[in-house]
């Protein structure tokens, strides 16, 4: 155990977050996301049993968001014709506002298949047990 480090951040996840450089991206994926197939060229970290919000909150305590891009956080857009509600996005924006003074302004949306293509080039993908639909989130690392 370490002081000041959220215990949900495993040694493996802390190592990956530390190894990432400026502009590298990490995906925090919901339970339906194809983490293993999208992450063939990435590090895939299993966090089954945990939801995205608690991981997002913990990660943002140690992970700076990129200040040199307009939207260092991106969500997967709801597909046209899909009637899914996404209240979890409001939760994400509240969490982000706790850790970044720019608040919800740093959050963008990416079309579903474009999100998949970006995930294929991410440094790492965290596979969670999140049950909410369209709960995937991409974070781009900044500098300290």
Rg (Cα) of the chain, in Å, rounded? 14
The model's pTM: 0.96
Report pLDDT digits (tens) over 112-129. 999 999 999 999 999 999
Closest C-alpha to 78, from 68, 87, 67, 66: 87
66 is catalytic: yes
Report pLDDT digits (tens) over 74-123. 999 999 999 999 999 999 999 999 999 999 999 999 999 999 999 999 99
Out of 22, 68, 82, 90, pick the active-site residue. 22
116 is catalytic: yes
Out of 30, 57, 66, 100, pick the active-site residue. 66
Q: Evaluate whether 140 touches 67 at the Cβ level (below 8 Å).
A: no
Would you say how long the chain is, in residues? 144
User: Which stretches within 20-51 are classed as H helix?
Assistant: 35-38
User: Which stretches within 11-108 are classed as H helix?
Assistant: 11-19, 35-38, 52-59, 88-99
Domains of the chain with CATH codes = 21-140 (3.40.1650.10)
């Amino acid at each position: 155990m370490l002081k000041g480090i959220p215990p949900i951040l495993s040694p493996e996840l802390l190592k990956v977050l530390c190894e990432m450089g400026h502009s590298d991206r990490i995906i925090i994926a919901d339970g339906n996301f194809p983490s293993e197939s999208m992450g063939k060229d990435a590090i895939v970290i299993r966090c089954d049993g945990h939801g995205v919000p608690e991981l997002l909150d913990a990660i943002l305590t140690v992970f700076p968001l990129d200040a040199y891009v307009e939207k260092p956080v991106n969500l997967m857009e709801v597909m046209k014709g899909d009637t899914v509600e996404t209240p979890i996005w409001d939760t994400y924006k509240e969490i982000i506002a706790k850790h970044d003074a720019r608040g919800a302004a740093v959050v963008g949306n990416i079309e579903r298949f474009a999100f998949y293509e970006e995930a294929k080039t991410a440094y790492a993908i965290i596979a969670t047990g999140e049950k909410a639909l369209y709960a995937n989130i991409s974070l781009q690392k900044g500098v300290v």
